[in-house]
Each structure stands twice: as structure tokens, then as C-alpha cells.
A and B are shown apart, each in its own frame.
Chain A
């Protein structure tokens, strides 16, 4: 992963003061970064809850365990 030389988002941007999560403004599509972080954080928690609920022998659980092994065990 590397930052491309342009140092900017080509279409739209990130706006801290945006009233909504996402909005089309005169500058194009914009996203509120704190809302994105909160959304990801809640989604990650829900995914982990689903993993516990589904169990290790489910497809969801197997996939999680496979990826964990690839990164942290092999």
C-alpha cells in the first residue's frame, strides 16, 4: 500500500464538518470520517458477534479461522 503522488481524492472528498454520513455537495460526493469510523467499528463488532453465534464449524467460522491461521499461525 502506498500513497499516490496526487495526495488528493479525485472525485469528492472527506469533510469533517459534513452534517450527514455521506452527501453530494457542490464539491462532489463527500463522507464524514468519524461516521465512517463509527460505522466500521459497529460493523466489526457485529461480525465478531455473528462469529460467536455461528460457531467454529459454520462457513463463517471456518473462513475466519482460516484467515486467522494464514496471518497469525503459519
Chain B
């Protein structure tokens, strides 16, 4: 696709020498198109048939990874200290996603916290011992 008068594939390795040419608005346009291309659109296609193809668990994990990635853009850097990955994940949800995820479950944990510990980290690790952290909270 064309952004700021240049052709971009939206794949990092192919675009690596050209991304510095992007304007601020061009960078936004690039990220908009890229996240739709590599995450949102493929998930939508697969989820249309999620009952039959058993993709529900995998797709939910992929969306959670997307929330984590979005959180690093919101914060301006990757998570590096203990607990930051959760903080970045939760902060994107709080700022940009449905408020129902901030509501508490009967055990006092929010849906966002459950999503992080049991879905995001329960299936694909993002921190050394997320389940231990969950139990200690």
C-alpha cells in the first residue's frame, strides 16, 4: 500500500529500510493497516467459524497478545520490569476497551486481571510465574 508517497508491504523485514521516511500520520496509517492485516482480519475470518474449527482458544490468545502489544505503544516502550507487562495490558483495556472488563468478579479480581492471568499468561507465558502472582494478589 502507498503511504506518504512510498510503497509499503506492512511486513517489518521488507519495510525496514523505509519506515524512517514515514511522517507521524504515516506511522499511524501504517500501524492501522498492519494490525488489521496481521491480527484483526485473520481473527475475524477464523472466528466466523470458531464453533466448528475450535479456534476460540487460539484466537482469544492472539487477541490478548495484541492487547499486550498495543499497551507497549501506549506506554512508549516494551515492558521490562516485573509486573509491567500486566500493567501495560490492563492500562490499554482501561483506556480503550469495554468498561465491563474493569468490573470485579465475585473473588474481587477484575475481568481484565482474569484475562491477563488466566487467558493471556495461562496459555502463553509473558512473565515467569503469572499464576503465582495471581494467587498472591
Contacts and interface: CB of A to CB of B under 8 A. Distances in A.
Q: Do A and B bind each other?
A: yes
Interface of A: 1-4, 6-17, 21-22, 24, 29, 31, 33-34, 36-37, 39-48, 51-52, 55-56, 60-68, 70-73
A49 B15 CA distance: 24
Contacts of B97: 39-40, 42-43
Instruction: Please report whether the interface of chain B is mostly helix, strand, loop or mixed according to DSSP.
Output: helix
A42 B115 CA distance: 18
Interface string B59-101: 1110101110010111111100000000000001101111011
Interface in B111-132: 111, 114-115, 118-119, 122-126, 131
Nearest 8 CB-CB pairings of A with B: A63-B76, A43-B96, A56-B24, A72-B19, A66-B76, A43-B97, A1-B124, A33-B60
Contacts of B63: 33, 36-37, 40
B60 A14 contact: yes
A31 B60 contact: yes
B28 A16 contact: no
Given A63-B77, A68-B30, 19 more contacts: A1-B65, A3-B61, A4-B122, A9-B119, A9-B123, A11-B114, A14-B60, A14-B119, A21-B98, A24-B105, A31-B60, A31-B115, A33-B47, A37-B40, A37-B43, A40-B40, A48-B31, A64-B76, A73-B20
Contact of B24 (A3, A37, A61): A61
Contacts of B72: 67
B125 A31 contact: no
10 contacts: A1-B125, A4-B122, A14-B119, A24-B105, A31-B115, A36-B63, A37-B47, A44-B70, A47-B70, A68-B30
Contacts of B118: 9-12, 29
Contacts of B125: 1-2, 4
Given A29-B114, A46-B96, A67-B72, A41 B40 contact: yes
